[in-house]
Structure 1
Amino acid sequence: MDKKRILYVEDDETLAFLTADNLENHFEVVHSNNGKEAFDLFCKDNFDLCVLDIMLPDMDGFEIATEIRKRNQEIPIIFLSAKTMKEDRIRGLKLGADDYLIKPYSIEELILKIEIFLNRSQKSVEKTIKTYQFGSFEFEPENYQLKNSEKDITLTEREAALLQLFLDNPNTVLKREKILNALWGTDDYFMGRSLDVFISRLRKIIKEETNVRIENIPRVGFKLVVE
């Protein structure tokens, strides 16, 4: 597995050497001792996390973080600073930093923090919105959005759940009882009437699609046909 890339910005030569040496056992580290140079590196390259000192030449850590957040809202940022005032910590966190460690810090704690934020960031990336493509439509069930070049429709929660159930089982007969239990947890008569209403609504929405239709299977259920 490729190592995660860390942008590490620190102008204290001794501290930078010791910290980078330890971090390099776990990550790929790009070190800079100058604020402006560090920001230029960020703009030109890809990083998974930033570790920023605050007191830096040409551009301080707060300024770097501000500019980073204008371009990337997700990348984790950790401040390392000798500035112990509560106001400085609050300022750093308000700028969008994920954590603020006071010097002298524990290398073990820093590595643990980095691993936690990288793991959290990775999970965020993996949690992408699931989409379905059928006919000319794109469907985002989590957002209840169904759209193509002509329409952009927000479905109701039940309509979205019904459409997702069909798309998870294309060209397959779904019994009424299965659909009712999946959407309402019951298959009683009144829910059955509601199901018919939702089927009718979905049919109207996709009626212009020549290769997609919802077929009624008498006394059994329905089938989404995708050709």
Structure 2
Amino acid sequence: MRILLLEDDLMLNELISERLSKKYTVASFTDGEKALNSVLKERYDLLLLDVDVPSINGFELLELLRTTNIITPAIFITAKTTSKDLKQGFEVGGNDYIKKPFDFEELEARIENIRKTYRIDLAIPLGENAQLKDRIIYANEKEIHIGAKESAVLGYLAKRKGTFVSCDELTSAVWSMEECPSQSTVRTYIKNLRHILGAASISTERGLGWRFDGV
């Protein structure tokens, strides 16, 4: 599950990112315009939006996204808690609202509710007797737990099974623009997945990238 976090309080941004990164892939931003550009270019499963942020506030950001038919679920995280604020949050297309200060267990519960409601992270088939779901590879009656990035890389390649995916395409799909991983970093994740799934599971072609062939 890929989450975009928009929070201009650096300490809170770091705390939320650190906590959620244990279960999800998180791309964090402190500026509304940068967050907007990222959503327009990349795929996210959930948006966590503060309201009072630089450039474009959270309400304006989501309203702009909804006008472009981007329907990614969104949860507002804000100290703006009047009835008028709540109404505005839902009117611009918000799916949930959590008031600051909040408990991390409450935030995680609301995220899980969104995940289940919108059926995010459904099982991705990897082969006849293998699938990927919630960062776990189920194969031959075994469960193999992998990291968030490995899961995102494998999930994307598996959805494009039989097709070569370039390094640039894979990077854009899995990492945020601010993360900007090197090619050697991407190759390391591929190497780790081959070690887990078997060398024949992912093919490499110079100039073309990687192709998932199944397990």
Which TM-score band applies after superposition, normalised by the shorter structure?
0.5 to 0.7
1:53 aligned onto 2:50: yes
Q: Deviations over 1:181-221 (max 9, x none)?
A: xxxxxxxxxxxxxxxxxxxxxxxxxxxxxxxxxxxxxxxxx
**AA paired with 1:92?**
G
Deviating above 2 A after TM superposition, structure 1's stretches of 4 or more consecutive aligned residues are: 71-74
1:95 aligned onto 2:79: no
1:85 aligned onto 2:75: no
C-alpha distance in structure 2 between counterparts of 1:71 and 1:114, whole Å:
24
Q: Deviations over 1:125-156 (max 9, x none)?
A: 99xxxxxxxxxxxxxxxxxxxxxxxxxxxxxx
**AA paired with 1:113?**
R
C-alpha distance in structure 1 between counterparts of 2:12 and 2:51, whole Å:
14
Q: Deviations over 1:96-133 (max 9, x none)?
A: 1011111001111111111111221127x99xxxxxxx
1:112 aligned onto 2:147: no
C-alpha distance in structure 2 between counterparts of 1:117 and 1:72, whole Å:
19
In structure 2, relative to structure 1, the CA distance for the partners of 1:119 and 1:29 (3 Å cut) is: same
The aligned runs of 1:105-184 (5 Å cut-off) are: 105-122=102-119
| Shift in Å, 1:26 | 1.1
Identify the match of residue 10 of structure 1 among 7, 20, 24: 7
State the partner residue of 2:20.
Answer: 23
**AA paired with 2:106?**
E
Identity %: 34
State the partner residue of 1:40.
Answer: 37
Whether the 8 Å contact between 1:5 and 1:49 is mirrored in structure 2 is yes
C-alpha distance in structure 1 between counterparts of 2:63 and 2:84, whole Å:
17
The TM-score with structure 1 as length reference comes to 0.51
Whether the 8 Å contact between 1:7 and 1:30 is mirrored in structure 2 is yes
Runs of 5+ consecutive residues of structure 1 not aligned to the other structure: 127-227
C-alpha distance in structure 2 between counterparts of 1:36 and 1:6, whole Å:
17
CA RMSD of aligned residues (A): 1.7
Whether the 8 Å contact between 1:7 and 1:31 is mirrored in structure 2 is yes
Secondary structure, aligned partner of 1:16: helix
C-alpha distance in structure 2 between counterparts of 1:28 and 1:72, whole Å:
23
| Shift in Å, 1:73 | 5.1
The TM-score with structure 2 as length reference comes to 0.54
| Shift in Å, 1:45 | 0.4
